[in-house]
């Protein structure tokens, strides 16, 4: 009988929770203020974790945050190794999750289409 909740999923959830706590309370770099980890995906052997982060301000530039997270990755890995019960802490690869930006853009487009419909298509 296969497990319903494989180990990799449990590790992903634990990484997500722990990384968010570390960013909130331990990392002192001001560039990571307003950053939250939105998803974590580990490879099957748990050696690499792809970590998606989002910003509170969807219009903010993610480049400085990506640099800050990359420079803090050694610190984060060492703290993760204390918190997690893994032989080896996974290598962290950070990627910006732009779904909030895309979502706000879609909402804006929908609102524009609705307002055009309410005006009877005057903007055509």
pLDDT tens digits, one per residue of 51-68: 999 988 877 889 999 999
Instruction: With respect to residue 68, please indicate whether it lies within any of the assigned structural domains.
Output: yes
Q: Phi first, then psi: what are they for 89, rounded to 5°?
A: -75, 135
Q: Could you tell me what percent of the chain has a pLDDT over 70?
A: 91
Instruction: With respect to residue 98, please indicate whether it lies within any of the assigned structural domains.
Output: yes
Instruction: With respect to residue 112, please indicate whether it lies within any of the assigned structural domains.
Output: yes
Quick one: 82 exposed, middle or buried, by C-beta within 10 A (0-12, 13-18, 19+)? Answer: exposed
If one counts the domains in the chain, the total is 1
Instruction: With respect to residue 123, please indicate whether it lies within any of the assigned structural domains.
Output: no
Q: What is the mean pLDDT of residues 83-98?
A: 90
Q: Are 36 and 65 in contact (CB under 8 A)?
A: no
Structural domain boundaries enclosing 112? 7-118
Instruction: With respect to residue 27, please indicate whether it lies within any of the assigned structural domains.
Output: yes
Instruction: With respect to residue 124, please indicate whether it lies within any of the assigned structural domains.
Output: no
More confident residue, 3 or 74: 74
More confident residue, 92 or 105: 92
Residue 100 has pLDDT above 80, yes or no: no
Residue 110 has pLDDT above 90, yes or no: no
Residue 1 has pLDDT above 50, yes or no: no
Instruction: With respect to residue 54, please indicate whether it lies within any of the assigned structural domains.
Output: yes
Tell me the whole-structure pTM to 2 decimals: 0.76
Instruction: With respect to residue 17, please indicate whether it lies within any of the assigned structural domains.
Output: yes
CB atoms closer than 10 angstroms to residue 40 = 23
DSSP helix/strand/coil, 35 = strand
The whole-chain average pLDDT of the chain stands at 87
Q: Residue 105 sits in a domain of what CATH number? A: 3.30.300.20
């Amino acid at each position: 009988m296969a497990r319903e909740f494989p180990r990799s999923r449990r590790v992903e959830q634990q990484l997500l929770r722990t990384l968010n706590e570390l960013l909130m309370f331990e990392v002192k770099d001001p560039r990571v203020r307003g950053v939250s980890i939105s998803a974590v995906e580990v490879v099957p052997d748990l050696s690499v974790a792809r970590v998606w982060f989002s910003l509170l301000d969807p219009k903010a530039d993610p480049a400085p945050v990506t640099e800050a997270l990359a420079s803090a990755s050694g610190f984060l890995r060492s703290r993760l190794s204390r918190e997690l019960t893994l032989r080896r802490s996974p290598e962290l690869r950070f990627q910006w999750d732009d779904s909030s930006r895309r979502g706000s853009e879609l909402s804006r487009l929908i609102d524009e289409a609705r307002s055009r419909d309410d005006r009877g298509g005057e903007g055509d």
